[in-house]
Amino acid sequence: MNEKLSRRRLLSGAAALVGTAFLGRGTALAENQEQLQQPNQPGQSGQTPNLEGAPYINTRTQPAWMRPPHPVPGEPGKHYKPTVTPNGSTLPWKVVDGVKVMHLTAEEVEHEFVPASEDNEPLRALCWGYNGQVHGPTIECVEGDRLRIYVTNNLPAATTIHWHAVIVPSGMDGVGGLSQKAIQPGETYKYEFTIWQHGTFMYHSHHDEMTQIGLGMTGMIVVHPREPEPQPPDRDFVLLLHEWRIDVGTRRPNPNEMTDFNILTMNARAFPGTAPLVATLGDKVRIRLGNLSPMDHHPIHLHGHAFKIVATDGGPIPETAQWPETSVLVAVGETRTVEFVANNPGDWPLHCHMTHHVMNQMGHQFPNMIGVKPGDLNRRAGTILSGFMTMGETGMADMGSMGMKIPKNSVPMVGLQTPKDYITMGGMYTNLKVRENLESYDKDPGWYQDPPGTLASLATKDELQHDLGFVPSAQDMQKPMNSMHMDHMDMKHGG
């Protein structure tokens, strides 16, 4: 008995010692893994790869920019497939001593929001932008790249650039007065930092923000993962959302506006000036959305497809946390990245679902005319004011196609004529065009030709009589339809 007890005690004591040792070791390992992390350790595809000899960093006190840059600057075609910025461009760069060197020039830009058409002259305005365009060119690089960005100020006012959601040293953050001295007119400043994160980010002025962001001093940043993705997208689009107040007939956006914006844009273009997003049937499509509007959030809705939200400006969303959507809310100061397979051929709207955000100028500050019966008001008023006519009694759908003369440097509040009818949307709207066969991604394939039996069309009298039992008209439609519904309910309950 004593021998058994002794052995039991011995075994129990040994087990306790082993358990304590294991627990202590595990705790120590956890602490080490939390505080000391090799910055370039091997990871899952799309994450930072191994760099032999890279020092450990304390992740609790040392941010990612302290990691040494990758010795090989990322190259398009080798490390990543370049993105597409519709109606925009990508910032050129060159490598100097292993550093990617870029140059941005802040300057006044005469920008075209909507091109000329049969219904309007081009809508242009004097904005502030970068490198002769609004918005600025997309900055594209690879995780681990060291960037040296020169910023020349050709504006009449001081400015800075903030790298929105990019983890940089405090002195490179670009907040005038806090991070740095503002860049005075005629000066060129140098920003330099290493990026050890990948995703979709933005840049914008952070000096006199209301004025300078309101005049267009914004742009997008795309950082690709160092290790190429196992299934990269076939089409990778970049869209920056914005809003403007441009009063009819004027040539300068009003940055003091707080609520009543009348030009809503994707990449600084309002429909029908927005370029379509073109994809081949079966393509994996990624759309990177950023919002630097002064005041408004935008629920962006895609027709014909469902997508997953795969990333924010804070980084990738784990696959287990992604969920399907057809609309994504992009708040001011945020980016959202969505992905889907373009498996549904056709022309599919991509637009903000706030109805006043798919309108252009002349859609604000007028009386509600819905239901008004003008009688002979047009004739009587025409004796005093030549050409007078009432408008809006049945809505706004005809405003773009009425053929009326409009003031210079203005645009109809809605749309575009197509072979089928008139699109009664403008503003923050574009089309995703999915085709089985494409001549080129760079060429608009034109309007979709629907296969037989897949196009909504005018019903014939025979079809109506056969299916509904009557031919509806504006006067008698309601009552027969109610009767049919009641008959259906009676049959359902066996009456």
pLDDT score recorded for residue 401? 55
**pLDDT tens across 86-114, in order?**
999 999 999 999 999 999 999 999 999 99
pLDDT score recorded for residue 48? 41
Q: Is 403 left (phi over 0), alpha (psi -120 to 50) or beta?
A: left
pLDDT score recorded for residue 311? 98
How far apart are alpha carbons 43 and 36 in whole angstroms? 16
| pTM (predicted TM-score) | 0.82
Which two structure tokens, joined as six digits, stand for 123? Answer: 């809508």
pLDDT score recorded for residue 119? 73
Angle between helices 478-492 and 461-468 (to 10 degrees): 40
Q: Is 355 helix (H, G, I), strand (E, B) or coil?
A: helix
pLDDT score recorded for residue 35? 38
The list of the chain residues with pLDDT below 50 reads 1-54, 477-495
Which two structure tokens, joined as six digits, stand for 83? Answer: 């993105």
Q: Can the peptide bond before residue 135 be classed as cis, meaning omega within 30 degrees of 0?
A: yes
**pLDDT tens across 412-456, in order?**
777 888 999 989 999 999 999 999 999 999 999 999 999 999 999
How far apart are alpha carbons 423 and 359 in whole angstroms? 11
